[in-house]
Amino acid sequence: MARLTYDDLIKKHIKILKNLQTKSGLFLASSKGVGTGYDKSWLRDNFYETIAFEVIGDWETVEKTYHAILKLLIKHEHKIDDAIKQKPQYSSGYIHARFDPDTFDEFWEEWGNKQNDAVGCILFRIGELETNQKRSILKTEDHIRIVNKLIKYLASIEYYKDPDSGMWEEDEEIHSSSVGACVAGLKSILKHPRVEVPRWLIKKGEDALKLLLPRESQKKFTDLAQLSLIWPYDVVNEEQKEMILKNVEYHLMRDRGVIRYKGDRYYNKNKDSVSEEAEWTFGLAWLAIIYERLGMKEKAAELIKDLIVLDTPDGIPELYFSNSYEYNQNTPLGWSESLFVVALYEANRLE
């Protein structure tokens, strides 16, 4: 059988990813009807899922998604207003990260709903699209109003010292990846002429980030989520970047992916959850993208080669069980699909 070229693989995975987009414009995290609960829309997943369409220049898909996200936020504007008036006492009062893609309703069951990085990433991408890519995302007065309220929301919840469930939707701590996402979002949207961002709000986050790093949190020394501080957010200096990469590679790299953090219990193969952490495929793509941007093409190429071996007819899985060729039901995972496409595209571009 003929080997697929990078171009062939990009086409294959863009098609798989496109099949996860719903009529509203929002993407599902995984296939419709999957029994794991991933047949829903996450703000963060949509942020990462659309990056693949950005790199190939499919702006229609990107803009449709972000207009749906803005519509969703406007639907829940009353909740944002309440949080601005008074910092919520419970996670239910925060902007949720997970929604029904058709009705835009929140899912109310407990799911680590307090995720500040989900707000930061949306602000970051809207700012990047509007100012760097010159795409018209904020088209109406409603759009401008809701984005300005997101700034006030981050100020009210004091994101720079607010424990949240973070990227992995688990224990509430102050996470460097969450603080960094909010810092990046505020700095990005600051460039928009009709959005008001207090400088002190950015400074508070930057100061908090300096104190947190190189740790992810009080409990976690290093975490896969910290790669986001390098790419796409670019909120760390060279020394911090080097330390994050060194820690992730030394402590978390495995044969079929990157574990999220030591002692991770999600899909842990051992009943006692010790030393059998699941291996996340998009960790390899994430590292490849970073190394491509650092000019380390050979290292990136090796990671991509490893990813190609992990590909399945249905797409890239969320994760492989530790030391196993068995992967979980969340196949394809939209986030994994997208980062794989970006890694392939960047490698092709640099050839």
Q: 305 Cβ partners below 8 Å, 6+ apart?
A: none
Paired tokens of 60:
């229609």
Question: Beta-carbon neighbour count of residue 313 at 10 Å?
Answer: 7
At 133, give phi and psi (nearest 5°): -95, -10
Alpha-carbon Rg for the chain, nearest whole angstrom, is: 19
SS3 118: helix
Domain of residue 326 covers 6-350
Residues 273 and 260: their CA atoms lie apart, in Å, by: 14
Residues 346 and 206: their CA atoms lie apart, in Å, by: 29
Which residue type does 279 have?
Answer: E
SS3 218: coil
Which residue type does 265 have?
Answer: R
| Structural domain contains residue 1 | no
Q: Are 243 and 257 in contact (CB under 8 A)?
A: no
SS3 14: helix
DSSP secondary structure code for residue 334 in this structure = H
Question: Beta-carbon neighbour count of residue 315 at 10 Å?
Answer: 23
pTM above 0.85, yes or no: yes
Residues 120 and 269: their CA atoms lie apart, in Å, by: 33
Q: Are 304 and 4 in contact (CB under 8 A)?
A: no
Paired tokens of 34:
């999957």
Cα separation values, 70 from 76, 201, 208, 236, 308, Å: 10, 22, 29, 28, 35
State the pLDDT at residue 139.
95
| Structural domain contains residue 39 | yes
Tally of domains in the chain: 1
Paired tokens of 178:
């969450």
Question: Beta-carbon neighbour count of residue 5 at 10 Å?
Answer: 11
SS3 21: strand
- In tens digits, what is the pLDDT along the chain, a chain of 351 residues? 346 799 999 999 999 999 999 999 999 999 998 999 999 999 999 999 999 999 999 999 999 999 999 999 999 999 999 999 999 999 999 999 999 999 999 987 777 789 999 999 999 999 999 988 889 899 999 999 999 999 999 999 999 999 999 999 999 999 999 999 999 999 999 999 999 999 999 999 999 999 999 999 999 999 999 999 999 999 999 999 999 999 999 999 999 999 999 999 999 988 776 779 999 999 999 999 999 999 999 999 999 999 999 999 999 999 999 989 999 999 999 999 999 999 999 988 766
As separate numbers, helices (DSSP H) first and strands (DSSP E) second, the chain gives 12, 6
Question: The domain that contains 89 carries what CATH number?
Answer: 1.50.10.10
| Structural domain contains residue 81 | yes
| Structural domain contains residue 41 | yes
Q: Are 189 and 127 in contact (CB under 8 A)?
A: yes
State the pLDDT at residue 157.
98
Q: Are 278 and 321 in contact (CB under 8 A)?
A: yes
| Structural domain contains residue 45 | yes
Q: 321 Cβ partners below 8 Å, 6+ apart?
A: 267, 269, 276, 278, 279, 327, 328
The neighbouring-strand residues paired with 341 are none
Question: Beta-carbon neighbour count of residue 314 at 10 Å?
Answer: 11
DSSP secondary structure code for residue 131 in this structure = I
Q: Which residues of 79-98 are buried (b: 16+ CB within 10 A; e: fewer)?
A: bbeebbeeebeebebbbbbb
Burial (0-12, 13-18, 19+ Cβ within 10 Å), 303: buried
Closest CA to 131 of 186, 70, 189: 189
Residues 166 and 189: their CA atoms lie apart, in Å, by: 21
